[in-house]
Structure 1
Amino acid sequence: MTPTMKPATSTATTVRIPHGALTDFATEVLTRRGVPPIRARTAAEALVYGDLTGLRSHGLANLTRLYLPLFDSGRVRPDAEPKVLADRGASVLLDAGLGLGLWVASEALDLAAERAAEHGIGLVSVRNATHFGCAGHHTGRLAERDLVAVLASNCGRQRIARPPGGRYAMLGTNPLSIAAPAGPELPPFVLDMSTTAVPTGRIRQAARAGQEIPEGWLEDAHGRPVTDPGALDRGEGYPLWLGGRPETGAYKGYGLALLVEVLAALVPGAGLGPAPEAYTGNGGPTGRDDDIGFLALVIAPGVLRPVDGFLADAEGMFRALTDCPPLDAAAPVAYPGVREAELAAAARADGVVLDAALYDELKAVAGDLGISAPEGRHA
């Protein structure tokens, strides 16, 4: 059963916990739920990555809100073993068997990397999967191996966002990540984005904190701005696409969402969002995020050209960006992945910062499982 959360009153608002201890704890929780130890470790690293890099909406807050309930409902199989449905050398089709996406995504990319080592490119197309957490964690691992990686996921048959001008919710947030090395001296380029203006995790994070959200994240059934984050889960707020409204570029975010739907779900035969079943009720959310599809693509530049030349060019490209004179000296020019790398380095040195309420939730999980919670100190 999912643990009953009865957070104790905390005197501090945040707690610092050593990264290794936090990962060990998450590994033990998942192992107790039946996930094989090596895969549990892979999944734990993916989960803790969210808190390590400041992406807390996709970190350990989802342990009790998303992942443990998936185990409770049988919508994830802890001992799943993905099956190869087709193997064409450079491309593979996998059925994830309801495996936990936190490890399935990493294994899919690792398999794609093996094929890329031989062919220069490797594609692993996945169906029947579950939520994989921070896409950038999975792709960033490959960038550290001098590879270029792409990972995208649809949201199965979950529908929460409407096509521009449409009455009914038809698609999910459809996240996309691309990562590449930036040379030996710079952190990898890691783009990790939803195709909606923000991921739903950030909206729910604001709801838990009792904060309003800015205009441009949600709209109501009539297209009016919504600033109450609770409207999302009440079915009264619809995520806006990246770009906001049609006149400010919403069709670009919508188009990217459809690109992900085609590559990550239509190609492997996973559950699709757009379907006539969406035409029900008042247009609010329908379906569940079951039978999620992934695209895992890896390019090995070193198979196509000398890797040293590729890395030198990469460093020159990204160094040109970081050396660009800024408008404000206090805000130097960067690129996606730099801020996350800085936060991760600080957290590894000083401890991962968690909200005290979340720490209390983790202690409740530990108590229910009869294991030790990681030791924390007030931040």
Structure 2
Amino acid sequence: MTGTVTDLVGSGSTVRIAYRDLVGFTAAVFADRGMPAERARVAAEALCYGDLAGMSSHGTANLIRLYLPAIDAGRIDPTATPRVVADKGAAILLDGNRALGLWSATDALDLAANRAQDTGIAMVSVRNATHFGCAGYHTGRLARRHLVALLASNCGRQRIARAPGGRPAVLGTNPLSFASPAGRHHPYVLDMSTTVVPTGRIRAAERAGEPIPEGWLEDVDGKPVTDPGALDRREAYLRWLGGDPATGAFKGYGLGLLVEVLAALVPGAGLGPEAAALSGDGGPTGSDDDIGFVALVVAPGALRPIDEFLDQADGMFSTLLDSPPLEPDRTVSYPGWHEAEQAARSTADGVELPVERYRELADLAARRGLDLPGAEGVR
């Protein structure tokens, strides 16, 4: 039953709100901070995708905790337009001018997509950028346009992970996403940090008062840390994909460096591994300002008939989905499939939010004189 936030407090731990209402409200919040309405809508869709697809650590949880404080502090400029620094046709360099990454990453990928239609491949490299939310949202959009897309970002000068065997923190989570059409199936969308988990998962556990598994964080001596609050207290470091060097940590670390080169070194953004990383006690430090990211798009249809590509992609991903499972109730899928299924359910039934999140949005609406649509209790 729809009601006020007061009515919903006793109804359980979560509520549902219509996706279009959540996007509309979020767009109004960004517009209230001075962002042009069309851009605000694009940014809102990118942010709300996290909640829509079941990745709540990258959804509206970051509206109040990340984006609005950064806008109010001047670290993000909601009115800024990226500036072209170099344009070589298939390769473009932009100065992001601290524009809101939720919008500017979408714009950069669209620019690369438009160029790739003629050249077959195009890259847009960006410096002085800001956090862009779920990388898979941005690449997935292009996969649905029959394009193949890569989006990768460093974390500016934020340092929360160490080189294997090293003492000082030198890199951030350095996420990347790669997406492709899958024929008649949901697009393949890989969206991952190069560390074992993104920081959002750790902070979500801290807000929930829950411990984290061993293997996510380590202390200065490399021992496991299960207190999620240790990250922001600068008492723990993120671990790389693969865990220990013996089980593949150098692979995660190597991928993190790959992202740092493509996304930050190429455009000239802020780097994690620079001399400042070696000063002080080597603990987690720095902020995610002057982020760099790279948007790379391939247009298969510029190289061969697009129907042939889509038919072959259909066969490839159909084979995966048709693979006999080890456990009958756990079918085989691929990255992006479950998120697309969840997004479809959320679009039909409403986006599920913790009641505490809805209360935060309601408080924000009241402070700024905005209209937050009602929600329905779930449990």
After TM superposition, the score normalised by the length of structure 1 is: 0.97
Distance 2:246 2:235 in 1: 23
Aligned to 2:120: 120
| Cα shift at 1:282 | 2.4
Number of the residue aligned with 2:136: 136
> Partner residue of 2:18?
18
* Equivalent in the alignment of 2:95: 95
Q: Residue 8 of structure 1 contacts residue 360 of structure 1 at CA under 8 Å; is this kept in 2?
A: no
d(CA) in 1 for partners of 2:373, 2:48: 13
Give the structure 1 partner of residue 145 of structure 2: 145
For residues 121-171 of structure 1, give each alpha carbon's deviation from its aligned partner in whole angstroms, at most 9, with x where no partner exists.
010000000000000000000000000000000000111111101110000
Q: CA 1:8/1:82 → structure 2, altered by over 3 Å: closer, same or farther?
A: farther
- Residue in 2 that maps onto 1:293: 292
Give the aligned partner of residue 315 of structure 1.
314
* Counterparts of residues 321-340 of structure 1 (less than 5 Å): 321-340=320-339
Other-structure match for 1:247: 246
Match of 1:3 in 2: none
Question: Could you list the per-position Cα deviations for residues 34-62 of structure 1 after superposition, in whole angstroms to 9, with x for gaps in the alignment?
Answer: 11111100100000000000101100000
Question: What is the 5 A alignment of 1:134-213?
Answer: 134-183=134-183, 185-213=184-212
> 1:177-229, CA deviations, whole angstroms, 9 ceiling, x for partnerless residues?
0000000x200000000000000000000000000100110000000001111
Give the number of aligned pairs.
373
User: 1 CA distance for matches of 2:7 and 2:359?
Assistant: 6
Q: Partner of 1:187: helix, strand, or coil?
A: strand
Q: Give the AA of the match of 2:210.
A: Q
Amino acid aligned to 2:318: R
How far apart, CA to CA, are the structure 2 residues paired with 1:141 and 1:79? 24
Which whole-Å CA distance do the structure 2 matches of 1:8 and 1:329 have between them? 42
Distance in 1 separating the partners of 2:6 and 2:93: 44
Q: What CA RMSD, in Å, does the superposition of the two structures yield over aligned residues?
A: 1.2
CA deviations 1:219-277 (Å, max 9, x no partner) are 00000001111111011111000011101100000000000000000000000010111
Question: What is the alpha-carbon distance in structure 2 between the residues aligned to residue 244 and residue 338 of structure 1?
Answer: 26
Q: 2:370 and 2:42 mapped to 1: Cα distance? A: 20
Contact 2:234 2:285 in 1 (8 A): no
What's the TM-score, normalizing by structure 2?
0.97
The amino acid that maps onto 1:362 is L
Q: Aligned with 1:343: secondary structure?
A: helix
Residue 236 and residue 89 in structure 1: after superposition, are their counterparts in 2 closer, same or farther (change >3 A)? same
Identity of aligned residues (%): 64
Query: What is the CA-CA distance between 1:9 and the residue it aligns to?
Result: 8.4
Deviating 4+ runs (over 6 angstroms): 6-9
1:61 counterpart residue number: 61
Separation in structure 1 between the aligned mates of residue 38 and residue 6 of structure 2, nearest angstrom: 31
How far apart, in 2, do the equivalents of 1:227 and 1:9 lie? 33
Cα distance in 1, alignment partners of residues 7 and 171 from structure 2: 38
Whole-Å separation in 1 of the counterparts to 2:216 and 2:223 = 11
Q: Where does residue 358 of structure 1 map in the other structure? A: 357
Mind listing any 5+ residue stretches in structure 1 that lack a counterpart? 1-5
Q: How does 1:44-59 map to 2 (within 5 A)?
A: 44-59=44-59
Q: For residues 1-38 of structure 1, give each alpha carbon's deviation from its aligned partner in whole angstroms, at most 9, with x where no partner exists.
A: xxxxx999821200000000000000000000011111
CA offset digits 1:316-355 (Å, max 9, x no partner): 0010000000001100000001100110000000000000
Q: Tell me what 2:281 maps to.
A: 282
8 Å CA contact 2:36–2:79 kept in 1: the answer is yes
Deviation at 1:279, TM superposition (A): 1.7
1:86-125 CA distance string (max 9 Å, x none) = 0011110001100000000000000000110010001000
- Structure 2: which 5+ residue stretches go unaligned? none
Instruction: Give per-residue Cα distances to partners, 1:281-316, cap 9 Å, x unaligned.
Output: 322112111100010000000000110000000010
Q: Does the aligned pair in 2 maintain the 1:7–1:357 contact within 8 Å? A: no
